[in-house]
Amino acid sequence: APVFTLNFDCSSLGCDCESSNCLSIRDHPCIAWSGLSKSIPVLLFFPEAAVSKDGNICSIGERYRMAFKIVRTESRLVRGLLTNHGFHEVHPNSNDFNLMWTGSHLKPYILRSLQDFQKVNHFPRSYELTRKDRLYKNIQRMQQTHGFKNFHIVPQTFVLPSEFQEFCNCFAKDKGPWIIKPVASSRGRGIYLVSNPNQISMDENILVSRYINNPLLIDEFKFDVRLYVLVTSYDPLLIYVYEEGLARFATVKYDRTSKNIKNTFMHLTNYSVNKKSSDYVSCDDPEVEDYGNKWSMSAVLRYLKQEGKDTTLLMRQVEDLVIKAVLSAELQIATACKMFVPHKTNCFELYGFDVLIDSNLKPWLLEVNLSPSLACDAPLDLKIKASMIADMFSLVGECRNKRCLYNSVCIRE
């Protein structure tokens, strides 16, 4: 049974009813009934529980003694949501848990020890997607196997120092600019633009990618979109894209000329970078989604539709991009699951896909984030992320069938 499928026992509830459809729980708002005979109770999660405690919502988790642990990370949102659904937090070293939420990959011996009712929030070898060099090499392999045009979802990229000569040969034909990224960093750290190979520091392994110098602009500002992608299985492959995302804006108006190439507030859209700018504008009203330097994805789509853009085609291309990126790493991760994971339902993973849209309305994959930030620095963050996490937990407890029963959109089965 999945982690949040409850082992129903009427006697434990002090009920003399012998039916699995016991009236004392059948109509509870946190319970959905699954299985062919609708006899398996599954725990549902409510986003409002992230910020307030309701005894009725808490009662089911407490009644079934559900437990979780958080290891090597800090997530107030995850802890608050689980605690207010009646889950009990256990020590990071405890093995008595239903859910383990961790900020890093798990050692093989931990995965092998999982019981069938336990879940962890990472698959083995997820770095095949989340390390920038591995992601690009996997997509490059798919380009070679299935045709360049079919997998042209990332800008041209070289891994340095091993491909420095190839980069120089390409640079001689197209002088850029190019963007430099460490292979295993996040939050905009170590990223900069160059217009000459001599400007590149090769003290560590880095990626150098063709800079997309024609980004789609809103009010003359560059932006990208953070999408939340949930994978519940790699064999068979099941991918869900959450219905909402976040658009992050640069804080300086975009200028295509090379004179501002070093202005990170113009060229980088990372929140961690732009929040340090004196021009950063935040919004304190969760119902206003199109103001300041952080918008909802829905607000961006509404804006683009008003501008006459084909947002239906755009989102279809975004979904295509997500599928192809995950497909590029499917074999390696599925193979690792067979080696290390004892039960098919043990693992799930939430990825943060960062997508840039160019002026031709073509989406480009910038990177895939392991353990995307769940920090809620603004009311809009909490509004979107609490609903997304609640939806995710409802999914990973239920989703064994081919169709998703909740809010997320299943884009590949």
DSSP string, 48-112: GGGT---HHHHHHHHHTT-EEEEESS--HHHHHHHHTTTPEE--TT----SEEEESSPPPHHHHH
Mean local confidence (pLDDT), 9-38: 60
| 6: DSSP letter | -
Look at the alpha carbons of 77, 82, 88, 93 in this order and tell me if their dihedral is positive or negative: negative
Residue 404 banded pLDDT, cuts 50, 70, 90: very low
Residue 24 banded pLDDT, cuts 50, 70, 90: low
DSSP string, 244-289: --EEEE-SS----SGGGTT-HHHH---HHHHTTSTT------TT--
- Which comes out higher in pLDDT, residue 140 or 28? 140
pLDDT exceeds cutoff 80 at 132: yes
Mean local confidence (pLDDT), 207-214: 95
pLDDT of residue 201: 86
pLDDT digits (tens, 9 = 90+) for 298-336: 999 999 999 999 999 999 999 999 999 999 999 999 999
CA 7 – CA 27 distance, rounded (Å) = 17
pLDDT of residue 64: 85
Residue 379 banded pLDDT, cuts 50, 70, 90: very high
CA 94 – CA 97 distance, rounded (Å) = 7
Q: Is 168 helix (H, G, I), strand (E, B) or coil?
A: helix
pLDDT of residue 257: 81
Q: Is 155 helix (H, G, I), strand (E, B) or coil?
A: coil
| 200: DSSP letter | -
pLDDT digits (tens, 9 = 90+) for 51-68: 899 988 998 899 889 999
Q: What does the block give as tokens for 45?
A: 């999660």
> Residues 6 or more apart from 54 whose CB is under 8 A from it?
48, 84
Asked if residue 152 lies in contact with residue 145, where contact means CB atoms within 8 angstroms, the answer is no
pTM: 0.90
CA 256 – CA 67 distance, rounded (Å) = 53
Q: What does the block give as tokens for 57?
A: 């919502």
Report the chain's C-alpha Rg in angstroms.
Answer: 23
pLDDT of residue 31: 85
Mean local confidence (pLDDT), 159-169: 93
CA 326 – CA 351 distance, rounded (Å) = 10
Residue 64 one-letter amino acid: Y
Residue 401 banded pLDDT, cuts 50, 70, 90: very low
CA 347 – CA 337 distance, rounded (Å) = 9
Instruction: Give the H or E element holding residue 170.
Output: helix 164-173
Q: How many CA atoms lie within 13 A of 319 on its CB side?
A: 18
User: b/e string for 364-386 if b means 16 or more Cβ within 10 A?
Assistant: bbbbbbbbbbbebebebbbbbbb
